[in-house]
Amino acid sequence: MVGVTAAPFEAACRVCAPDQLTVMLGALRVRVRVAGPLLAERLFDPLLHLIADEAGAIDLSVDAWSRDEVGLPISPDEPALTVDPASGRAVCRFESADALPRADLARPFQNILLELLHRRGLPAVHAALVAPETEAAGLLLVGPNGSGKSTSTLSAVMDGFGMVGDDCFGIERRGDRFLGHSLYRTCCLTHEARSRFKDLPGPMRFPPGADAFAKGVLTLPMGRMRRSLPVSALVFPDIGPRGGTTRAVGIGAGEGLRRFMPALRFARIFVGEQRQSHYAALTAMVGMLPCFRLDLGGDFTAVPAVLRELAGSLR
């Protein structure tokens, strides 16, 4: 990461007054300013459930602008992203709101936020965190692509569960307790996952040029989101032979640690001691929380009932 070059953003603001959003990520206050109304709408949308008042010290300021909306020329040496971790400011440029890739539609400013969260003791986990509407017991769903994680998560949310996040959110440790803090209200779904549901609870967006079978971004309604939840158990979805029984089976910490590896994918942006501390902070959950394998058997309709019973048993 290099020092911030703010001049292009300030020039963009003289052409187009920026829109501003202040959000809370756990206890961190983040201000986002965007010059370009369409870009602001797209980048703000996944964060709207975390809106905070603007009073209080800002932990991170993220400024962004759209070249197409602002119409300013770009120097060939101008970096698309500059970050100054010491001052807590980042400036980034996007070519166009209509050309955002899937990652930016679903998780805007992800790498910038992951760096901040890591520095503040909130490592980001690649998982989903859900809880039944009447329970505070959050279930952390972890699995690689094709394991049924996203489909299990959406099945639960469609049945009334609340969700902290799918794919990316922060984990805070408080003694022997762990809390998940929301970052985004989006899910990335394959065509196969979408086809399992007659109706979806929110709009789908696709990156430019995507065909009907591409992975898309589902934006969940605000009422389905929780800002934070305690993590009470680790659950590892596992698609088995069709016709099998959907059930939760307790497993040991050794198997749990092996199955937990996909949750550590964001550690790759760090090096050396930072990467090791990221691993250590997240894998501590495996040794301290109960672990379960969620046998799916190809039947996702039973997932909410199984997860609801499991959450009730953790009181």
Q: How many domains does the chain have?
A: 2
Judged against a pLDDT cut of 60, whether residue 31 lies above it is answered with yes
Mean pLDDT of 71-89: 81
Q: How is residue 205 annotated by DSSP?
A: E
C-alpha dihedral over 68, 69, 73, 79, to 10 degrees? -80
pLDDT tens string 200-255: 999 999 999 998 889 999 999 999 999 999 999 999 999 876 667 899 999 999 99
pLDDT at 111: 87
In a domain, 113, yes or no: no
Query: Within this chain, do residues 232 and 130 fall inside the same structural domain, yes or no?
Result: yes
In a domain, 2, yes or no: no
Judged against a pLDDT cut of 60, whether residue 39 lies above it is answered with yes
Distance CA 116, CA 183 (A): 12
pLDDT at 297: 79
Query: Within this chain, do residues 93 and 133 fall inside the same structural domain, yes or no?
Result: no
311's enclosing H/E stretch is: helix 303-313
CATH of the domain at 145: 3.40.50
- Owning domain of residue 28: 7-100
